[in-house]
Structure 1
Amino acid sequence: MTAPRILFVTRKWAPAIGGMETYSHRLSEELAEIEPVEVVALPGREDGSPPSAAALLAFPFTVLRHRFARDTVPDVLHLGDMAIWPLGLLAKLFAPGRQVVLSAHGTDVSYPARGGFLGKTYGAYQRLGARLLGRSATVVANSDTTAEAARGLGWHVAAIVPLGTDLRAPQEPAAHTDEILFAGRLVTRKGCGWFVREVLPLLPERFTLAVAGTGWAEDEAFVTEHPRVRFLGGLDQAELARAYGRALCVIVPNIELANGEFEGFGLVAPEAAACGGVVLAARTGGLTSAVRDGETGFLLPPGDAAGWKAQIEAVAAWSVPERADFIRNAARVATEHYSWPRAARETFAVYALPSPAFHA
């Protein structure tokens, strides 16, 4: 049997839980439907948390052992995130001429915007990688904003490939309530605290907010105690899909921070649309790639409380047929466009390998 020509290396893998873990698993799985893929992954811990620092430090040696145990070298080394770029440099040293591809996520390239010692050090680390690897490494970014930030650090971006989602609407759509839904971590950038302070008071009392997620920043903790907020905690995928469909609308109200930190993509937006939710998202960061304005949801000015109030009331005033038509079309477009098979096809195109039909 011919050895796979694609080696996918990632430090984000189950049983750890997170968007990057989902990305690594689903992308490599769908790539394997096009061309055999070999995966070298660093599993997370059984409680769902990332691997330990010791495991992270040992991971490069795992990759090297794997490399020297092979008789052949893969044509493509795909690194699942930008933080492990030194593995690409090792590949160039031991196997010159092989293609190195890196996936860029929002945190990969926005972390330097946090400033301080860690932010500045990480920014210098990424610029070093871009200089050492040069155009011999190409980057696949998950949004226009992520691509722009990666270029700002010196990386060569070959393609912008939006993420996919496997969530789908229940077979029997639920009647919506007057409850608005926020899903995700309660951190300042994601804007839930802003929404509760600035928008919720402008809306009639019948409108309430449900929050699905775990963990919060200190300045967002007040949200869970607000009288018009129902805190749901973490939901499994089936529960979350139902919650998206039941809500009057699903908000992704990210705000723009002075330090320039941004949302790399915003997977909640296509997830909710695919599940029959009406998505209202801020027109900022990677959310402009995660929402097809007017089709899978609506993009609103970040920080414009009056604009958000008006759009929520407009959605609440839809007739039953109007709402059903919008949801049906949004779910169809989201399911077609934000799919992992599509993401795999567009990523495979970056590799510039002969098609499977050509080399079969």
Structure 2
Amino acid sequence: MVCGEALDRGDRLIVHMTERSILFLTRKWPPAVGGMETYSVKLTQALVRCTDAPVQVMALPGRRNGLPPTAIRLLAFGVISALRLLLRHRPPAILHVGDLALWPLGLFARLRSRRTQVVISVHGTDVAYPRRKGFGPRAYGYYLRTGSRLMRRAGVIANSDATRDVAAETGWRTKQVVPLATDFAGPPPTGECDPYILFAGRLVERKGCAWFVRNVLPLLPSHIRLKVAGTGWDESEWQVFDDPRVDFLGSLDSEALVEAYRRACCVVVPNIEPGSGEYEGFGLVATEAAAAGGVVVASRTGGLVQAVEDGITGILVTAGDASRWQAAIYRIASWTPGERQAFLLRSMEFCRSYYSWDRVASETLRAYGQRLS
């Protein structure tokens, strides 16, 4: 069902509040680029399709260059949002806070009306940051523990079992795990591929690209190249481009990325488990690649175990085990075109039926409980 009052104004959904309304509040919104931004936009669009309750978005847009808002804008957004929650004429039935860092805004909503149910999404870095060393992570850990005590009645939605477990380290109890989705899609598979492997995503330590280049690429036939599509990287990952078998593609638009997924012998998501305690909250690139028609090989770690349906949408391999990675890639390279096509037909069909934003919206609505009835 579609909310008839919804209007489109600059990529935001604006509706009139009623006693059955949903207010989604987020600091992650386009033109900033990232998984949490995608989640915010796609979920709110799907909520409008899947319920007749009015849906409103209160969002802080990112910068035009794709980066998040500045610290000053973020602080101003928090203050303005708190005032709007306190002073609004008609409080929402549901306040859905987009990530755990904004938990205090749930308090302001509850001060305005005890009838408002607060729901908070948790993702990855927003719960894992306290695992790092230093004053900042330690202070943020105290901040989250304080929130878990003050917001005991909040309904927490995690994007994976791994995120649920990390959130529990600071006292947050998850009500429901709702794996993410994608609207990536490719044409019917042909069974043909080119002799290259694709890595897509940010070049940071936990994503494992440098580890793959050092430990797995040398074990593969010399004619197989690694293509890297991504932006932004840690200095420690620069060594990736010193290898003569690595080609850097930069940032690709969605159409070019789908084609790169489809043409690759396989798409690798070789996450490792760094000493910093960082982990993959979900691993949306694995789901996107499978939906686009790529054969995915991913580490069996973090949220990737729910981003990949092992044996159906991809192959899960022990993180950090180079010999198993080599064996999995050799297996895929040995498929006949018919075997490859059959695998991809099953994979893409599963992605269409399960990794859909309407399914995410439906499960989110169930987490809201009875407040919309």
TM-score, normalisation: structure 1: 0.95
The correspondence for 2:203, drawn from 169, 183, 186, is 186
1:71 to partner: Cα distance: 2.4
Q: Distance in 2 between matches of 1:174 and 1:23?
A: 31
Judged with a 3 Å threshold, the aligned counterparts in structure 2 of structure 1 residues 225 and 152 are, in CA distance, closer, same or farther, namely same
1:283 aligns with 2:295: no
The correspondence for 1:117, drawn from 122, 135, 139, is 135
Indicate the residue corresponding to 1:220 in structure 2. 237
The correspondence for 2:160, drawn from 129, 143, 146, is 143
Q: Distance in 1 between matches of 2:272 and 2:32?
A: 28
The correspondence for 2:113, drawn from 95, 100, 115, is 95
Indicate the residue corresponding to 1:254 in structure 2. 271
Indicate the residue corresponding to 2:9 in structure 1. none
The correspondence for 1:75, drawn from 89, 93, 100, is 93
The correspondence for 2:217, drawn from 178, 195, 200, is 200
Judged with a 3 Å threshold, the aligned counterparts in structure 2 of structure 1 residues 123 and 69 are, in CA distance, closer, same or farther, namely closer
The correspondence for 2:355, drawn from 319, 332, 338, is 338
1:23 aligns with 2:23: no
For structure 2, the 5+ residue unaligned runs are 1-15
Counterparts of 1:26-65 in structure 2, within 5 Å, are 26-33=42-49, 34=51, 35-65=53-83
Amino acid at match of 1:30: A
SS of 2:338's equivalent in the other structure is helix
1:260 to partner: Cα distance: 2.2
Out of 167-176 and 136-145, give the one that drifted further.
167-176
Q: Distance in 1 between matches of 2:174 and 2:58?
A: 24
Judged with a 3 Å threshold, the aligned counterparts in structure 2 of structure 1 residues 296 and 344 are, in CA distance, closer, same or farther, namely same
1:92 to partner: Cα distance: 1.7
Q: Distance in 1 between matches of 2:327 and 2:102?
A: 45
The correspondence for 1:9, drawn from 25, 47, 50, is 25
Judged with a 3 Å threshold, the aligned counterparts in structure 2 of structure 1 residues 54 and 174 are, in CA distance, closer, same or farther, namely farther
Asked if structure 1 preserves the Cα contact closer than 8 Å seen for 2:85 and 2:108, the reply is no
Asked if structure 1 preserves the Cα contact closer than 8 Å seen for 2:17 and 2:92, the reply is no
Deviations along 1:13-69, whole A, 9 cap, x unmatched? 111111111110110111112132111111111222111111111112322343355
Q: Distance in 1 between matches of 2:68 and 2:204?
A: 19
TM-score, normalisation: structure 2: 0.92
Spell out structure 1 runs of 4+ moving beyond 2 A. Answer: 1-4, 64-71, 170-175
SS of 1:32's equivalent in the other structure is helix
Asked if structure 1 preserves the Cα contact closer than 8 Å seen for 2:117 and 2:371, the reply is no
Q: Distance in 2 between matches of 1:270 and 1:119?
A: 30
Indicate the residue corresponding to 2:145 in structure 1. 127
Indicate the residue corresponding to 1:326 in structure 2. 343
Amino acid at match of 1:250: V
Work out the number of aligned pairs and report it.
Answer: 355
Q: Distance in 2 between matches of 1:138 and 1:170?
A: 39
Q: Distance in 2 between matches of 1:262 and 1:42?
A: 26
Amino acid at match of 2:118: V
Q: Distance in 2 between matches of 1:48 and 1:156?
A: 32
Judged with a 3 Å threshold, the aligned counterparts in structure 2 of structure 1 residues 52 and 102 are, in CA distance, closer, same or farther, namely same
Amino acid at match of 2:234: A
Indicate the residue corresponding to 2:185 in structure 1. 168
Q: Distance in 1 between matches of 2:62 and 2:344?
A: 36
Asked if structure 2 preserves the Cα contact closer than 8 Å seen for 1:198 and 1:305, the reply is yes
Q: Distance in 2 between matches of 1:172 and 1:92?
A: 51
1:258 to partner: Cα distance: 2.2
1:215 to partner: Cα distance: 1.4
Indicate the residue corresponding to 2:103 in structure 1. 85
SS of 2:293's equivalent in the other structure is coil
Deviations along 1:185-215, whole A, 9 cap, x unmatched? 1111110000000001011101110000011
Amino acid at match of 2:185: R
For structure 1, the 5+ residue unaligned runs are none
Asked if structure 1 preserves the Cα contact closer than 8 Å seen for 2:189 and 2:341, the reply is no
Amino acid at match of 1:61: V
1:353 to partner: Cα distance: 3.0
Asked if structure 1 preserves the Cα contact closer than 8 Å seen for 2:94 and 2:371, the reply is no
Percent identity between the two aligned chains: 52
Asked if structure 2 preserves the Cα contact closer than 8 Å seen for 1:174 and 1:246, the reply is no
Q: Distance in 1 between matches of 2:262 and 2:305?
A: 22
